[in-house]
Chains A and B, each alone.
Chain A
């Protein structure tokens, strides 16, 4: 699903975001990406969803060589990646329902067609009763679950999560992680960036460790 082959990312200011990173994440796999702040976790995520382009090396995502993907194709490519952010990135002027419906509207579904799928996604994260509320009226954990519902509503083949539990207490973090596992069980590939080593260790999945832009460890399921 994701394949990095000698990938480096040098920013315009000269800072090395990633250096010679190679790994392969299979379809249907779930993995964690760990490392201290500034290790390159976010850079790697950005490269996968083409928010940035690699300086050297090759990246394949879902069979696409990202180097060969034209700018005009990027939006269509991104529609198959569900993204979850640490700060949720919800739109605060819209209801929970409208937030979750956004990827469907973008993909060209009619508002009528959306409703069922939006409710299914909200049901999955246990927020069906909150659809008419605004994100500000929800707790941090609930906001993150709305972000999760938005990421899966379009039934993406791949979910990327950048520090999805960064602002949550251990119990809520555990619940969110369980949700990721449940998506993975229906065949979705999941890559989660997290610096919460205790939580990562508890989950018992593959762990990719980055440090100063280099992949220093790739531990399979213990």
Chain B
């Protein structure tokens, strides 16, 4: 007789006996009812159904057994970590720092973005006129802009005044006088109403652009765009930083798990000799990695929030300068969720990697 088959029989017997104890009451009850109603058990559909139910019970039992095993292994792994609190704390802190840096960077970027979005200074529109445009044409344009409901204020800066303004700026007088003529065009400065949206303004700019006598129209929000461009660059940088530090977390956890594997060589050998699969042997180590990841993520939260609390007053001052009442906001629920999932995943990945490498030599065959 085959040994493997032998094993299966044993296991099935074990499972069946457990199943009988849990489901015995139900079965016998049903059978009694069926008998008293004069129905014998030879109804094939009923038999099929019963078999299906049995199979299902067995499946749920296996799932339950597995769940119980996982729960126990997870708790064991945590207790083992808590038994060496200093070592656990140091490793977790290392992981937490690696997590906290990209998160802090990300928080900084999102806050600056919020600051840019909440900036309530009005973008002005500058209409640069063609040079040598007649005063009547200018007046006509000004009158036209005054009638636009989108525009609150209109002011005309003739080329002479523009030149005078320009010459006031240090170091530029010589250049202008050497030029011998006034290179500046007339400009009409427009201030839009405060509730004008960016889309409306864009549309207005496009329509002004087409009118005769207008050389160029500029919407003064380039600094916002520039800020946003820089911020999106920073955001990408934060993500790249996150990837690099994520790798660091994997390496830290993998190394910590390696030490644990080394110290539990005997146990691994025993478990392997009484028939533990590599998956079974790896389970406590994978849970260990996951716990490290979770603890690192939680500690990273503590670090980020305490740092933000320290910076809050300074941030308020800056926000005040920008006429914004935005307060430094911490990472949102999404960031926390991502951080925690990253902790779990990276922890498991580091542990699995470590197990894979070291079981080659430790686990016989």
Contact = CB atoms under 8 A, between A and B. Distances in A.
A113 B365 contact: no
A80 B3 contact: yes
Contact of B11 (A51, A77, A89, A107): A107
Contacts of B72: 111
A74 interface: yes
Contacts of A113: 14, 17-18, 65
B199 interface: no
Contacts of A138: none
Contacts of A89: 266, 269-270, 273
Interface string B265-283: 0110111111111101000
Contacts, number: 105
Given A71-B365, A111-B68, A155-B10, A63 B1 contact: yes
29 contacts: A61-B3, A62-B2, A63-B2, A64-B2, A71-B365, A76-B4, A76-B7, A76-B277, A77-B3, A77-B275, A78-B272, A78-B274, A79-B274, A80-B4, A91-B270, A102-B270, A103-B274, A106-B275, A106-B276, A107-B14, A107-B275, A108-B11, A108-B66, A110-B64, A110-B69, A111-B69, A112-B18, A154-B274, A157-B3
B6 interface: yes
B61 interface: yes
Contact of B273 (A51, A52, A154): A51
Given A63-B2, A155-B10, A103 B69 contact: no
Contacts of A155: 10
B306 interface: no
Interface footprint category on B: 20 to 34
B65 A109 contact: yes
Contacts of B277: 75-76, 106
Interface string A163-202: 0000000000000000000000000000000000000000
Interface of A: 49-53, 61-64, 71, 73-80, 83, 89-91, 102-103, 105-113, 150, 154-155, 157-158
Interface of B: 1-4, 6-7, 10-11, 14, 17-18, 61-62, 64-66, 68-69, 72, 266-267, 269-278, 280, 364-365
Contacts of A154: 10, 274-275
Most B-side CB within 10 Å, residue of A90, A103, A106, A155: A106
Nearest to B66: A108
Nearest to B69: A105
B273 A78 contact: yes
A106 B280 contact: yes
B225 to A, nearest CB: 59
Contacts of A103: 274-275
A155 B7 CA distance: 9
Given A78-B275, A89-B266, A73 B4 contact: yes
B81 to A, nearest CB: 14
A10 to B, nearest CB: 18
Contacts of A63: 1-3
A51 B364 contact: yes
Nearest to B364: A51
B273 to A, nearest CB: 6
B1 A74 contact: no
Contacts of B280: 75, 106
B66 to A, nearest CB: 8
Given A75-B280, A76-B7, A111-B72, 14 more contacts: A51-B364, A62-B2, A75-B275, A77-B275, A78-B273, A80-B4, A80-B7, A103-B274, A103-B275, A106-B280, A108-B11, A111-B68, A150-B274, A155-B10
A158 B4 CA distance: 12
Given A51-B364, A71-B365, A113-B18, A91 B267 contact: yes
B4 A49 contact: no
A74 B3 contact: no
B269 to A, nearest CB: 7
Given A75-B276, A78-B275, A79-B275, A110 B65 contact: yes
A211 B99 CA distance: 61
Query: What 10 pairs between A and B have smallest CB-CB spacing?
Result: A62-B3, A79-B275, A110-B65, A78-B275, A75-B277, A103-B274, A51-B364, A80-B3, A106-B276, A63-B2
A64 B2 CA distance: 7
A30 to B, nearest CB: 18
A110 B68 CA distance: 7
